[in-house]
Amino acid sequence: MKPVVYFEVSPLFERNFSGIPNVAKELARRFLADADTLETRFFINWHEIPQSFVRLAIDDASGARLADMARLPLRQIAPAPGSIGFFPNYKSIRGVFSTEGFIVHDLSTVTTPQFHSKETIRHHRTTVARDIETSDIVFAVSQATLRDLELYFPQSLKKRRVICNPGAVVADFSMPSFHDERPIVTVLGTLEPRKNIRQVLEYIAESPTFASRFAFILPGKFGWGESMHRLIERLGLEPQVQAGTIQFPGYISEEAKLDLIRRSHLLIYPSVFEGYGMPVREAFVCGAPVLTTRSSSIPEVAPSHVHYFSPFKRGDFGRQFEALAARFTSTAADTRGQAIAESHWDSSYETVKSALLR
């Protein structure tokens, strides 16, 4: 008889996938494909989600159609003894399955509380503590996250702890989504304080003549904090936006994002704290150079093509950026290192599966 794994799908309800929803999507894809060795049932709270709807979310890279399903009558889950519960993020229910495991993506609310509200910190810390107490296995996405977990939640030392690095499969395709005659500099990260996009914009405001040589493209959705419109207005950057020196395409698909990385002379990832730092890994796989911070998990994510600046040392970002920009040649392809072939999601899945079935 095949083991039964209940896979909690709340991250797949996001309309636009990035970060954690992408982790859930790729793992769900592999659980579905592994029907010969285990039976996977999908759920949220106490309600079972038909596999057909999960496949739609995976294919769409969006939970828009999952949200429509909320109007349908759904049967309740009734886990039998020996069943396994897997939660790719927080746990919507606890203490229900014979074996339970969940993924910790980052503990930024604890390690960098200055970037979060008191309510968010309190809620996150309480939620993580309860999830640990009711779990048999705690997955961490990096060595840095595991160290934070053990430091701030010592009760996790009593649990089985497994490092499960996310994957970064970059297919060989090209979609001419972005073009500019100037060298493209991509700045990635949700528009929120911890991602530190503000520091890049402050540099452009302080060095408008040098910055005008480049096209800074900042895709991504707004998270929280000062709105980008108000920040642009406060820094007096309206002329740079009008001239295309700064471009905000909004949310873009994973395919468009990877194509943009390929076309970029440089990827800037200015985040001050990361549980993993997927864009840095993706740039590494593409062979693209990166300017980022030597923070949390980032140094373990990509061993080469990476240059660092200190987000807490005034002027350091500008110095490091200008030094790298001096090396730019006519095309992005001339600036990059050796791209690598990687199918890391299969390895990630096997890590999760073996830990759950042990």
Task: For residue range 261-314, list pLDDT tens digits in order.
Answer: 988 999 999 998 888 988 998 888 888 899 999 888 988 887 777 999 999 999
Question: Is 178 buried (19+), middle (13-18) or exposed (0-12) by CB count in 10 A?
Answer: buried
**Residue pair 339/286 in contact by the 8 Å Cβ criterion:** yes
Quote the mean pLDDT of the chain. 89
Q: Give residue 337's pLDDT band: very low, low, confident or very high (50, 70, 90).
A: low
Q: If we measure between CA atoms, which residue out of 319, 247, 333, 253 comes closest to residue 289?
A: 333
Mean pLDDT of 248-261: 87
Which residues is 163 bridged to in the sheet? 140
Instruction: Enumerate domains of the chain plus CATH numbers.
Output: 4-167+344-357 (3.40.50), 184-335 (3.40.50.2000)
Name the packing angle between helices 197-206 and 316-325 (round to 10°). 70
Terminal Cα distance for the chain, rounded: 16
Beta strands in 210-351 (DSSP E): 215-219, 246-250, 266-269, 290-293, 306-309
Cβ neighbours of residue 60 under 8 Å, at least 6 residues apart?
none
Q: Which residue has the tokens 């500099």?
A: 185
pLDDT, position 183: 93
Q: Which residue has the tokens 């295309």?
A: 244
In our burial notation (b when 16+ CB lie closer than 10 A, e otherwise), range 109-118 reads: bbbbeebbee
Percent of the chain clearing pLDDT 90 (strictly above) = 62
pTM for the model: 0.89
pLDDT in tens, 163-174: 999 987 665 555
**Residue pair 348/166 in contact by the 8 Å Cβ criterion:** yes
Q: Give residue 335's pLDDT band: very low, low, confident or very high (50, 70, 90).
A: low
Whole-number CA gyration radius for the chain? 21
